[in-house]
Structure 1
Amino acid sequence: MAFYFGLCALVFAVLLSVASPLYLVQANACDFSLGNWVLDDSHYPLYDASRDCPFIGRGFNCLRNGRPDQDYLKYRWKPSGCDLPRRFDGVNFLERYKGKKIMFVGDSISNNMWQSLTCLLHNAVPESSYALSTPTKYLSVFTIPEFDVSIIWLKNGFLVDVVHDKEKGRIVKLDSIKSGYMWKGDVLIFNTYHWWTHLNESETVQFQVGNETIKNMDPMEAYKIGLTTWSKWIDANIDPSMTKVLFQGIAASHFQGEGCLKETKPEEGAQPPYPGVEIVKNVLSSMSYPVYLLDITFLTQLRIDGHPSIYTGKGTSYVDCSHWCLAGAPDAWNEILFAVLLGL
């Protein structure tokens, strides 16, 4: 009997060691997606974008672009049922992921999160050398050689295939993925949403399933088909014992009404359902591979103050209520990532 219980304990330990990202949220017993923003000027911001992150994209550094208020830099996300680590431990992150590759695959919101993580890690070991390269116009690679850690962003707004036809315009092939061979890493963090709802109205865009071209498909229906194609690709091609997969949830934009212009404080209280969220949850729940949903929708719905607005460096006529200032809200996304990957 003692042998039996000992064997059970060993099996359980092995299961924990190869636990999927989905299991981690159960182990942490915390829903990070619910909570509120707390002003915490003793610990935030986690870095100075201009001083600590010389490689940061110009459009995300709102302070350098002339934003006069600074409280948006100092908010900490406080989950309702637990605590995130009070400060992002970049050294711990680098040590645990020594020799590993973490790849973000997605649109410019994915790039927002990738740039936040590179800033957080570089700021944790400022004396360590780093390298930033762009092997192609779609690929950006940030490395810290001392830890042999690579943080990669692969630009891919739809995840499914897109072709450009001179006569037909842009064609989004909802049931085809040929770029998946590039999705390689110990941790893969996928993102897709905004391109489906911000298609350029001046460009002809068509959706295609098989050989059938559909001109007037509802973007959310197309999103569901495309995301399902991605989910089937993950189920068929990724080994959960070797690779952790997360889906960076939908980040809210704030173009409705007067938008985010002149907003300086987060909103509070319940928020209305956000388009696309149920599609994401339903697709992920149907997968055999347990993908962890980094559910950032509600916390971004509250941060109407967190966008660059007119402080993108492009002049006051351009208002950005989709992307996020750095330092800012995306740092909380990476704090949640840190808690999920490494445990509390």
Structure 2
Amino acid sequence: MKSPMIFHWFIIITTIICFNNNVSNILANKLRPPAVAPKKPPKNLAGKCDFYDGKWVVDYKYPVYNAKDCPFLLEQFDCVGNRRPDRAYLKYRWQPTKCNLARWDGKEFVRRIKNKEVLFVGDSLSLNQWQSLACMLHSAFPRLNYTVTRNGPLMSTFSIPSKQVTLSYVRNALLVDIVREKSKRVLELNSVAVSSKLWTGYDILIFDTWHWWLHTGKKQPWDMIRDGKVLRKDMDRLKAYEKALVTWGKWVSNNINFNKVQVFFQGISPDHSNGTQWGKKTNTMQCKGEQKPVKRLRYLGDPDEADMLLGKVLGKTGKPIHLLKLNKMSQYRVDGHPSIYGSPRYKGMDCTHWCLPGVPDTWNQLLYANLI
């Protein structure tokens, strides 16, 4: 008789315990804070950090390639090959103030531009950057077949066929047209009709112009300037530059599909033509012997008017044109020019172009960081 009674009380007690446990679990679940999904990293780090604010730091892992390993490096940029004795200028890396610039990864860069046509358009500073990028990509795939072709002085192309990579450079130092009229070379500030024929059919465009706007005498590439309906012998060069940029901007705005094409503009590359700007006693072009970047507080140069004007004009287009703001960072690198170690056939002081490897490699790292 006792067994059924014990079993009866066992069932009652077990039921009460299970009920209490269920109530506790329900209350606990209600009181437990909801799970928070981890935040995804931003897709485009370039939009989260100012890569252009920073300083040059010594990095013994640099350079990202060796001059002797780039078989098509132009003589005018090959300072090591032209027997520049010091090597410290090769060991500097750009360090943004509030973040890190991703290390160069040639294979990843190729993945981003695979099946895309890339074109650099501009003067010899644009050539400097194109040559740098070609050497950087060659160093990432040194054993693959590549081609370098030149169509006269106008067009140069580097390609790695097996990776479907093509980088081209077209010389167009002023962007706007120069036409012949009665044996005179006329600079057309309001036309890119001729020049722009070479800019179409590309997926990534990197433009550049400035230095030839300052040339005078025999180096000046025009005889007359047409400003609207007015034909002038000469005019304020900064104003002429602005008018040309506006003409270029209108063409880009009206002819580029920004859903398919990315457009960059190379900021003004500084020529260290005035030694007093970095503490020298002479105001002449004298960068020979410089082995370190100038420090922030010592550099006495004023903001570059042309560079500020460039940013202003690009902003007014209302289009997603990315300005590679290389002017300020490059101003510090007075040590990065060929000086007397450019082409042996050129006997002057070159404080305008850049040694390779060197500063333009960083410009291309910035290009890499800003490619979506």
Report the TM-score range of the alignment, normalised by the length of the smaller protein. Answer: 0.7 to 0.9
Q: CA deviation at 1:216?
A: 2.7
Indicate if the aligned counterparts of 2:263 and 2:321 stay in contact, CA closer than 8 A: yes
Does 1 or 2 have the higher relative contact order (CA < 8 Å, sep 6+)? 1
Matched, 1:176 2:198: no
Instruction: Identify the match of residue 310 of structure 1 among 327, 340, 345.
Output: 340
| Residue correspondences, number | 316
Distance 1:316 1:241 in 2: 44
Matched, 1:112 2:131: no
Indicate if the aligned counterparts of 2:77 and 2:343 stay in contact, CA closer than 8 A: no
2:292 counterpart letter in structure 1: K
Pair 1:305–1:164, CA change in 2 (3 A): farther
Matched, 1:319 2:336: no
Matched, 1:39 2:58: yes
Distance 1:313 1:180 in 2: 31
Matched, 1:138 2:157: no
Match of residue 205 from structure 1? 223
Pair 1:200–1:307, CA change in 2 (3 A): farther
2:106 counterpart letter in structure 1: G
Over 6 Å off, 4+ runs: none
Indicate if the aligned counterparts of 1:199 and 1:205 stay in contact, CA closer than 8 A: no
Instruction: Identify the match of residue 283 of structure 1 among 301, 313, 318.
Output: 313
Q: CA deviation at 1:81?
A: 1.8
Q: CA deviation at 1:34?
A: 1.6
Pair 1:240–1:35, CA change in 2 (3 A): same
2:202 counterpart letter in structure 1: G
Q: CA deviation at 1:39?
A: 1.0
Distance 2:181 2:174 in 1: 17
Q: How does 1:1-344 map to 2 (within 5 A)?
A: 28-41=47-60, 43-50=61-68, 52-85=69-102, 87-165=103-181, 167-168=183-184, 170-178=185-193, 179-183=195-199, 184-201=201-218, 205-256=223-274, 257-258=283-284, 259-269=286-296, 271-314=301-344, 317-342=347-372
Distance 1:324 1:292 in 2: 22
For residues 174-226 of structure 1, what are the alpha-carbon distances to aligned partners after superposition, in whole Å with 9 as ceiling and x for unaligned?
A: 00012212113111000001111134456563211233212231110000000
SS in structure 2 of the partner of residue 324 of structure 1? coil
Q: CA deviation at 1:31?
A: 1.5
Q: CA deviation at 1:264?
A: 1.1
- Alpha-carbon RMSD: 1.8
- What TM-score results when the alignment is normalised by the length of structure 2? 0.81
Distance 2:138 2:226 in 1: 42
1:81 counterpart letter in structure 2: K
Q: CA deviation at 1:120?
A: 0.4
Moved more, 254-263 or 332-341: 254-263
Q: CA deviation at 1:152?
A: 0.6
> Structure 1: 5+ residue runs without aligned partners?
1-15, 18-23
Moved more, 249-258 or 293-302: 249-258
Distance 1:224 1:155 in 2: 20
* Percentage of pairs with the same residue: 42
Larger radius of gyration: 2
Indicate if the aligned counterparts of 1:307 and 1:320 stay in contact, CA closer than 8 A: yes
SS in structure 1 of the partner of residue 253 of structure 2? helix
Indicate if the aligned counterparts of 2:120 and 2:206 stay in contact, CA closer than 8 A: yes
Indicate if the aligned counterparts of 1:94 and 1:149 stay in contact, CA closer than 8 A: yes
Distance 2:319 2:182 in 1: 38
Distance 2:343 2:164 in 1: 34
> Structure 2: 5+ residue runs without aligned partners?
1-41, 275-282
SS in structure 1 of the partner of residue 107 of structure 2? helix
Pair 1:282–1:261, CA change in 2 (3 A): same
Indicate if the aligned counterparts of 2:112 and 2:371 stay in contact, CA closer than 8 A: no
For residues 198-257 of structure 1, what are the alpha-carbon distances to aligned partners after superposition, in whole Å with 9 as ceiling and x for unaligned?
A: 344565632112332122311100000000100010000000001000001100000112
Match of residue 13 from structure 1? none
Match of residue 7 from structure 1? none
Pair 1:83–1:127, CA change in 2 (3 A): same
Distance 2:81 2:217 in 1: 29
SS in structure 2 of the partner of residue 338 of structure 1? helix
1:77 counterpart letter in structure 2: W
- What TM-score results when the alignment is normalised by the length of structure 1? 0.87
Q: CA deviation at 1:135?
A: 2.8
Distance 1:64 1:31 in 2: 35
Distance 1:92 1:176 in 2: 38
Moved more, 306-315 or 277-286: 306-315
Distance 1:64 1:149 in 2: 27
